[in-house]
Structure 1
């Protein structure tokens, strides 16, 4: 479970060789969601404020997220992605 970013108490990570479509996981406190990289569709529950921050970050880093997804499919080391500031 490589962690690729952290910001405002939110931890973003991907699993190696995870199921399609391309997505990442986000954890904030006890809440966890799965976010599709291309569409932003969310599964799970988390505060609206945290989801808005995650969606803003996703839009800024979509290309980098897709590159990390490709690496994860090959079980290679993922790149860290800059946090939301």
Structure 2
């Protein structure tokens, strides 16, 4: 599962060809052993848990990088290499 960004202890990943379980564009997020799945572009929590403050950071990052994330999603579902995205600063 490729890591596309890391910021404030949050690791953001995107799986290749990951459309069977959730069917929506989404990210896999990890923070201190907690895991969550967050939709693109809404930033809604689909599964799992992370602290509310960290979720809001992820949601802000998703809003800023919506176009890049959707481009990565298209590449990933087609099994093509994805690119890293700037972290939240």
For 1:52, the equivalent position in structure 2 comes to: 56
Which consecutive aligned stretches of 4+ in structure 1 deviate over 3 angstroms post-superposition? none
Q: Which deviations, in whole Å up to 9, do the C-alpha atoms of 1:33-83 show, x marking residues without a partner?
A: 101102221021111111011011000001100000000011111110000
Structure 1: stretches of 5+ with no match in the other structure:
none
Query: Which SS does the other structure have where 2:15 is aligned?
Result: coil
Structure 2: stretches of 5+ with no match in the other structure:
none
- Normalising by structure 1, we get a TM-score of 0.95
- Normalising by structure 2, we get a TM-score of 0.91
Q: Does 1:29 align with 2:27?
A: no
Q: Pick which of 11-20 and 39-48 moved more.
A: 39-48
Q: Does 1:77 align with 2:81?
A: yes
Corresponding pairs, count: 85
Instruction: Find the aligned partners of 2:44 and 2:55 in 1 and give their Cα distance.
Output: 11
